[in-house]
Amino acid sequence: MYAASLQAEKTFEIWPGKLSFAAGGAGARDALDAATDMARSLARAVIEDAELLAKGGDVLPRGVAGRHALEAVAPFRDMQGGALPPSLAALPGAICDVVLDAMRRAAGEADFFLVALGDAAALHLEPGIQLKADADMPPVLGEFARALGPGIQGGVALGGIQAAMPSCGALDKVAVQSKSAAHAGFAAVLVADAAASGFAPPKGAAPRDRLLAAGWAGRVVAGAPGLVEPEAIWDALSASARQASSLRDRRLLSAAALGFKGRGRTIGPVDGDRLLRFGVSEWR
């Protein structure tokens, strides 16, 4: 096992923030050029697509990332239970997936590719390569990705009240690995929302971002609770863990880590003791 060397990296501004992309290996420069071109192309339609995904309905987005987001959400619609999050939750990850795909097509052989936007990231690391600690992505998400081990592929994303996407549940942090960043982004919000069935959180403020506010209009967005009894903490974690396990059974999620008030649960092949940034003192 050896750490990936960030031989080349760039950034690009696109909703909902800064898109970062990096590659290592012989084709790294070609990969970054392709990523920049694809990011420019996506930027032309991303706001319009985000508005459509926020509203819901049957209108097909114009952009390739918007269409990919809808395709990623489709298998979740077969699940029984509560309401699904807005399809908008999958869009940042979908942007990452589309850019990473362009990088791989352009680069030929490379050791690794990484694309991150907001709380989602798409990764393709060759066997034996470990993500470096200084990768340009949220530190909690990078720590989760490294805890999954070397050679990971697909996508990772964050949910919970400390994440950028709104949550209807009170968990502090939810980290998810799935087959793509779009799948991971949507699953992270869905798993975080499930905690509301185990513990009713206080109502939080409406999202400041107008697109997120539109997507979550009419939904109760969770705020940070104060003191929570230990039994209620485990109830909330268990509710989200059941949702994550159900998604894993359907192959919509590979691994997940959940944190709430210093307690945590893991699902799949991830070592909770390596997740120091989760602030968890007891894992189950």
Confidence of residue 108 (pLDDT cuts 50, 70, 90): confident
Percent of the chain with pLDDT over 70: 97
Query: 28-42, 68-82, 144-158, 163-177 — which is least confidently predicted?
Result: 68-82
Residue 79 is predicted with a pLDDT of: 78
Q: Are 99 and 19 in contact (CB under 8 A)?
A: yes
pLDDT tops 70 at residue 6 = no
Percent of the chain with pLDDT over 90: 87
Instruction: State if pTM tops 0.85.
Output: yes
Query: 181-190, 245-254, 274-283 — which is least confidently predicted?
Result: 274-283
Question: String of b and e for 77-92 (b: at least 16 CB within 10 Å)?
Answer: eeeeeeebbbbbbbbb
Residue ranges covered by each domain of the chain: 2-283
Average pLDDT over residues 85-106: 97
Average pLDDT over residues 186-198: 96
pLDDT tops 70 at residue 55 = yes
Cα pseudo-dihedral 256, 259, 260, 263, rounded to 10 = 110
Top-tier CATH class for 2-283: alpha beta
